[in-house]
Amino acid sequence: MRSAEPGEPADPAQPAEPKAPADPADPADPANPANPAEPIELAHPAEPEGPTPPDPHDGSPHDGSPPDGPSYDGPSYDGPPYATSLHHAPLYDEPRTSVAALSLRYRIAVALTLAVVAIAVCVHVGMVFLHVAPSNTLTKQHGKVVYDWINPEFEQNWMLFAPNPLQQDIAVQVRAQVSTADGGTRTTRWYDLSAQDGRAIDGNLLPSHTQQNELRRAWDFFVSTHDGQNRATNVRGSLAETYLRRILVLRLGRSDAAGSDGVVERVQARSRTTYVRPPKWSKEQVPDTPVYRELSWWSVPDGEAAGGVR
């Protein structure tokens, strides 16, 4: 049987000659990934020249001689020697935050501010304590100072725990005398200011202090400083009258009572008191008709009539 020429297909009936095994990779071949001919350069800190200090944990003698034991015949490492001790990076302080990060003068300013606030809080707490405490030597000597500090912004009383709560519904109403552009005058209708506050509070989860107490407290202030004939009973009567008049003028301005061409010249206030009906089991008798208390007409200064009051 003749052998197949180069380029001809091999005879399928003839068994193929076994191939010789490939030679193992030459260790010196640069293409061989396992070639250790060229050492790997590792970045290590430079070591001082001289013998390598012994490792205190390997039990070797401290004279620099190699330890006893079987020798290692593997490939040698020609790179720079490994470090025998750990080199730690320098430790830095953490950055300062909050007040410590401020400069000295700002820290002094913060300290002074905190001191002033602390003193103010202590003084306020002391004033409130003296106001609600029974009569004593301090309140007898400095009662006016305590009263001026507390009233009217921080008033404290025991009306919440009173055995006889208020049984009257007091509504404050106002009307105005307006001068028109043609030189005439007209009188407006009665505006129920308490009803306006009630509508503003109804359904409001967070009603303002003004809506709840401004008008009511102003009227209580006036009543407590005037008698039944609306005459002042003490030196604070004039202040109570001015305070109530300004609130009335502001409320009339919000309701546009004077119109676009009118000016409020005078105002008059009144209260409408309605008694709360007692329960059915009570024998108490109260009037069924409301009771009115009308004040005299008050002239409005030019500054208040023109909206100068804020």
pLDDT tens sequence across 250-308: 999 999 998 888 899 999 999 999 998 888 888 888 888 999 999 999 999 987 766 55
DSSP 182-206: TS-EEEPPPEEHHHHHHHHHTT-SS
In the DSSP assignment, the letter for residue 16 is P
Q: Which amino acid is at 261?
A: D
> Per-residue confidence at 178, pLDDT binned at 50, 70, 90?
very high
**Which candidate, 159, 261, 176, places its Cα nearest to that of 216?**
159
Q: Is the pLDDT of residue 110 over 70?
A: yes
Three-state DSSP state, 212: helix
Q: Which residues are CB-contacts of 149 (< 8 A; sequence separation ≥ 6)? A: 124, 127
- What pLDDT, on a 0 to 100 scale, did the predictor assign at position 303? 74
Q: In the structure, how many helices (H) and strands (E) does the chain have?
A: 7, 6
Q: What is the mean pLDDT of the chain?
A: 78
Alpha helices in 55-192 (DSSP H): 104-132, 137-150
**Which candidate, 304, 26, 6, places its Cα nearest to that of 176?**
304
Is the separation of the CB atoms in 191 and 173 below 8 Å?
yes
Q: Which residue shows structure tokens 């350069």? A: 41
Instruction: Give backbone dihedrals phi and psi of 233, rounded to 5 degrees, phi first.
Output: -105, -10
- For residue 178, how many other CB atoms are within 10 A of its CB? 21
Strand 185-187 and strand 263-275: the pairing is unpaired
> Per-residue confidence at 154, pLDDT binned at 50, 70, 90?
confident
Q: How many CA atoms does the CB half-sphere of 23 hold within 13 Å?
A: 4
Q: Is the pLDDT of residue 224 over 70?
A: yes
pTM for the model: 0.49
How wide is the angle at C-alpha 254 spanned by C-alphas 249 and 260, nearest 5°? 95
- What pLDDT, on a 0 to 100 scale, did the predictor assign at position 66? 54
Q: Report CA torsion sign: 250, 174, 255, 257.
A: negative
Three-state DSSP state, 222: helix
Q: Which residues are CB-contacts of 4 (< 8 A; sequence separation ≥ 6)? A: 10, 11
